[in-house]
Homo-oligomer: A and B are copies of this chain.
Amino acid sequence: MKILIANRGEIAVRVIRACREMGIPSVAVFSDCDRGARHVREADQALHIGPSEAARSYLRGDAIIDAARRAGADAIHPGYGFLAENAAFARACRQAGLTFIGPSPEAIALMGSKTAARGVALRAGVPVVPGTERPFDVRATEEEIARTAREIGYPLLVKAVAGGGGKGMRVVEDPAGLSDAVRTARSEAGAAFGDTSVYLERRLARPRHIEVQLLCDGMGTVIPFVERECSIQRRHQKVVEESPSTAVDPVLRRRLAGAASAVARDAGYTNAGTIEFLLDEQGAFHFLEMNTRLQVEHPVTELVTSIDLVQWQIRIARGEAIDIDPARALTPHGHAIECRIYAEDPDQGFMPSPGLVRAIRPAAGPGIRDDGGVSAGYTVPVYYDSMIAKLVAWAASREEAIARMARALREYQVSGIRTTIPFFLWLMQQPDYREGRYDTTYLDRLLDGRRAAFSKLDEGDLELVAMAAALDEFLRRSAPEGPPAGSVRSLWQEAAWREALRA
């Protein structure tokens, strides 16, 4: 087997590591701006597939399949995002004789339609969030939509059938906002997914987002895992995930696992997938959707179950039967928390902060796992998701995991660009977070109207920074003269000069 990874960044590095540990050659693909990216350097082979814009590179299924052919790869791992949930791409892989490391194109297509997926859940006897079961016809009248909305009740959500990641989704508080919301959701969905279909769903007041990881092989074995808690979201984007959830006890865990397995079986699902649920304030859960791929947050599951999900994806894809003790998958061993480190400036409304990473020294030591995607000298581009690393802390208890995460965040050094590290340091100190009292609306409520910087420096810290900045300049000025100028410069002279600068 030789695997081409149709992705970039940390997830490509993650898959390359799994390949190397399994003795499988790996092939990277890259766009113009990613020539020097870490996944390119760590893979055994690397092929250019197009310009920086994702639509012309990482989203080009034909270019990727062609790269697989040229490299002699016989399997493709899609990672997450990009083409990971694209049924047409999975089908094209199959037609090209390539193993797609994921579910069948049929399962992707079925579960990729939110309304079809809701139908599968209902058939499997799993409760769904109340809403319409079919998408509205494009010719549906405003009156027709409004009537359905009244039946469901306000507040509600207008959601794109093909949606994901909060795109093509609108909250409607009362009837007055309905037709506007339908129109903008349709237009956003059309632009993003090429499909303007929308449906309505009741908006639960303060739900928790709980999801169940599954591994399903080709022989009918379905293994559900201990839940992940992903309610810490900013504008519908997960930023912190953990396992287990403070809101789930063993009885509820078994019920969630049973429901998730039933949906997967009904969908004829294979490989890794995740069933997302909303848990309402009364403790009842509702099927939300299925993600037909590896999730960003898979490491927290790996840490509390000691099962390597990526290696199992590969084994399942090459036809092996799952050989996992179901009790081990469903029994949390300690507690794991993941912080998604983004190249964003939390003190400026989480504005993207691309640019040159001058130095990076991830946290390490006991209980720390760093799944990083960039190295020093790499320029974080503006073209893709801004996540540069996932920092994961494991400890025997949630309280210790939070303490460990805070220690690691403090230790993590990134020079040159802003990151969300100061925000996470702040979050780890919030009483409600520490107590596990939160839902999907928690973070947005907490951030709403907040103006203070997350990087809180007291007077002593500021004085220290002032001294350091002055010393830096002082040492620079008192350093010996610069290295000899000229077109031919020797490494040794330069090195000697740099050392002299070391004060």
Q: Contact: B361 with A365, CB < 8 Å? A: no
Q: Contact: A483 with B482, CB < 8 Å? A: yes
Mark interface residues in A476-503 (1 if CB within 8 Å of B CB, else 0).
1101011111111101001000010010
Return A300 CB to nearest CB of chain B, in Å: 12
Q: Contact: A364 with B372, CB < 8 Å? A: yes
Q: Contact: A20 with B410, CB < 8 Å? A: yes
Which residues in B have their C-beta under 8 angstroms from that of A22?
403
CA distance A306 to B395 in the complex (A): 8
State which of B334, B361, B365, B479 has its C-beta within 8 Å of the C-beta of A306.
Answer: B334
A253 contacts chain B at the CB level, 8 A cutoff: no
Q: How many copies does the complex hold?
A: 2
A302 contacts chain B at the CB level, 8 A cutoff: yes
A404 contacts chain B at the CB level, 8 A cutoff: yes
Return A25 CB to nearest CB of chain B, in Å: 13
Q: Contact: A403 with B42, CB < 8 Å? A: no
Within 8 A of B (CB), among A331-368: 333-334, 356, 359, 361-362, 364-368
CA distance A481 to B494 in the complex (A): 12
Q: Contact: A487 with B483, CB < 8 Å? A: no
State which of B42, B302, B404, B485 has its C-beta within 8 Å of the C-beta of A484.
Answer: B485
Return A502 CB to nearest CB of chain B, in Å: 7
Return A1 CB to nearest CB of chain B, in Å: 15
Q: Contact: B482 with A400, CB < 8 Å? A: no
A12 contacts chain B at the CB level, 8 A cutoff: no
Q: Contact: A369 with B361, CB < 8 Å? A: no
State which of B20, B403, B477, B502 has its C-beta within 8 Å of the C-beta of A21.
Answer: B403
Q: Contact: A484 with B482, CB < 8 Å? A: yes
CA distance A302 to B395 in the complex (A): 11
A411 contacts chain B at the CB level, 8 A cutoff: yes
Which residues in B have their C-beta under 8 angstroms from that of A365?
13-14, 17, 369-372
Q: Contact: B502 with A377, CB < 8 Å? A: yes
Interface residues of chain A: helix, strand, loop or mixed (majority)? mixed
CA distance A377 to B361 in the complex (A): 13
Return A361 CB to nearest CB of chain B, in Å: 7
State which of B17, B302, B370, B489 has its C-beta within 8 Å of the C-beta of A482.
Answer: B489
A307 contacts chain B at the CB level, 8 A cutoff: yes
**In the complex, which residue of chain B has the Cβ closest to the Cβ of A502?**
B377
Return A17 CB to nearest CB of chain B, in Å: 5
A449 contacts chain B at the CB level, 8 A cutoff: no
Q: Contact: B306 with A407, CB < 8 Å? A: no
A192 contacts chain B at the CB level, 8 A cutoff: no
Q: Contact: A21 with B407, CB < 8 Å? A: yes
A299 contacts chain B at the CB level, 8 A cutoff: yes
**In the complex, which residue of chain B has the Cβ closest to the Cβ of A489?**
B482
State which of B369, B395, B481, B482 has its C-beta within 8 Å of the C-beta of A364.
Answer: B369
CA distance A52 to B14 in the complex (A): 42
Q: Contact: B476 with A481, CB < 8 Å? A: no
Q: Contact: B370 with A364, CB < 8 Å? A: yes
A444 contacts chain B at the CB level, 8 A cutoff: no
Q: Contact: A485 with B482, CB < 8 Å? A: yes
Q: Contact: B14 with A396, CB < 8 Å? A: no
Q: Contact: B486 with A482, CB < 8 Å? A: yes
Are A400 and B487 also in contact (CB < 8 A) when A14-B366, A364-B369 are? no
Are A366 and B299 also in contact (CB < 8 A) when A410-B20, A487-B477 are? yes
State which of B17, B377, B395, B502 has its C-beta within 8 Å of the C-beta of A407.
Answer: B17
Which residues in B have their C-beta under 8 angstroms from that of A499?
356
A308 contacts chain B at the CB level, 8 A cutoff: yes
Return A234 CB to nearest CB of chain B, in Å: 26
A375 contacts chain B at the CB level, 8 A cutoff: yes
A23 contacts chain B at the CB level, 8 A cutoff: yes
Return A3 CB to nearest CB of chain B, in Å: 15
Q: Contact: B485 with A42, CB < 8 Å? A: no
Q: Contact: B372 with A17, CB < 8 Å? A: no
**A residues near B, CB below 8 A?**
13-14, 17-18, 20-23, 42, 299, 302, 306-308, 310, 333-334, 356, 359, 361-362, 364-372, 375-377, 395-396, 400, 403-404, 406-407, 410-411, 472, 476-477, 479, 481-489, 491, 494, 499, 502
29 contacts between A and B (CB under 8 A): A20-B407, A20-B410, A21-B400, A21-B406, A22-B403, A23-B403, A42-B411, A306-B333, A306-B396, A308-B367, A308-B395, A361-B375, A361-B376, A362-B364, A364-B369, A366-B369, A367-B369, A368-B369, A476-B491, A477-B487, A479-B489, A481-B486, A482-B482, A482-B485, A482-B486, A482-B489, A482-B494, A483-B485, A485-B485
